[in-house]
């Protein structure tokens, strides 16, 4: 019984460190796949499930097993980017999958200058799109 608990704890510790790629940015992707969804015309309701997609045609073989992070951002003062790094929309998904399902947050401001970033060396930003009530 104790033995089992010990291993369960070890497993938990191992999986939670794997599930936190945001703590090791050097492990994130180093190529720049263009985001194909959302498009600039998108209007996604708060709380809705949506699919973020990107082009995997240029994925280098050495990065084929990399996992990614998707963050939601919006513009502040029209020029600065505010990225919500504390509440990633998705983490730990395989980049080679080319898409990941995300849920739009509740209780945020309705704006038409949201964007998502698929994390890589230089940040792959979607066009600005709308999140509404
Ligand atoms: C990716 O993962 C597959 C399956 O585990 C493995 O066979 C392959 O060698 C890995 N490729 C790289 C570049 O790490």
Pocket of ligand 1 (CB under 6 A): 61-62, 64-65
- Model pTM above 0.75: no
CB neighbourhood size of 20 (10 A): 12
Q: How many A from CA of 65 to the centre of ligand 1?
A: 6
Nearest to 51 by CA among 68, 38, 67: 38
- Residue located nearest, by CA, to atom 9 of ligand 1: 65
Q: How many A from CA of 64 to the centre of ligand 1?
A: 7
**Choices 2.60.40, 2.60.120, 2.30.40, 3.30.70: CATH for 2-132:** 2.60.40
pLDDT tens readout for residues 2-39: 333 334 444 444 444 444 444 444 455 456 789 999 99
CB neighbourhood size of 21 (10 A): 20
Those residues with Cβ within 8 angstroms of residue 36's Cβ, 6 or more apart along the chain or in another chain = 53, 54, 55
- Domain spans, the chain: 2-132
pLDDT tens readout for residues 64-122: 888 899 999 999 887 888 999 999 999 999 988 999 999 999 999 999 999 999 985 55
């Amino acid at each position: 019984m104790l033995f089992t608990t010990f291993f369960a704890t070890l497993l938990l510790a191992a999986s939670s460190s794997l599930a936190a790629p945001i703590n090791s940015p050097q492990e994130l992707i180093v190529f720049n796949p263009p985001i194909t969804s959302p498009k600039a015309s998108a209007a996604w309701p708060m709380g809705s499930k949506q699919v973020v997609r990107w082009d995997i045609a240029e994925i280098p073989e050495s990065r084929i097993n990399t996992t990614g992070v998707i963050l939601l951002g919006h513009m502040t003062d029209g020029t600065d980017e505010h990225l919500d790094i504390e509440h990633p929309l998705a983490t730990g998904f395989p980049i080679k999958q080319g898409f990941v399902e995300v849920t739009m947050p509740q209780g945020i401001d309705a704006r038409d200058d949201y964007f998502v970033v698929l994390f890589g060396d230089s940040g792959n930003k979607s066009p600005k799109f709308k999140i509404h009530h």
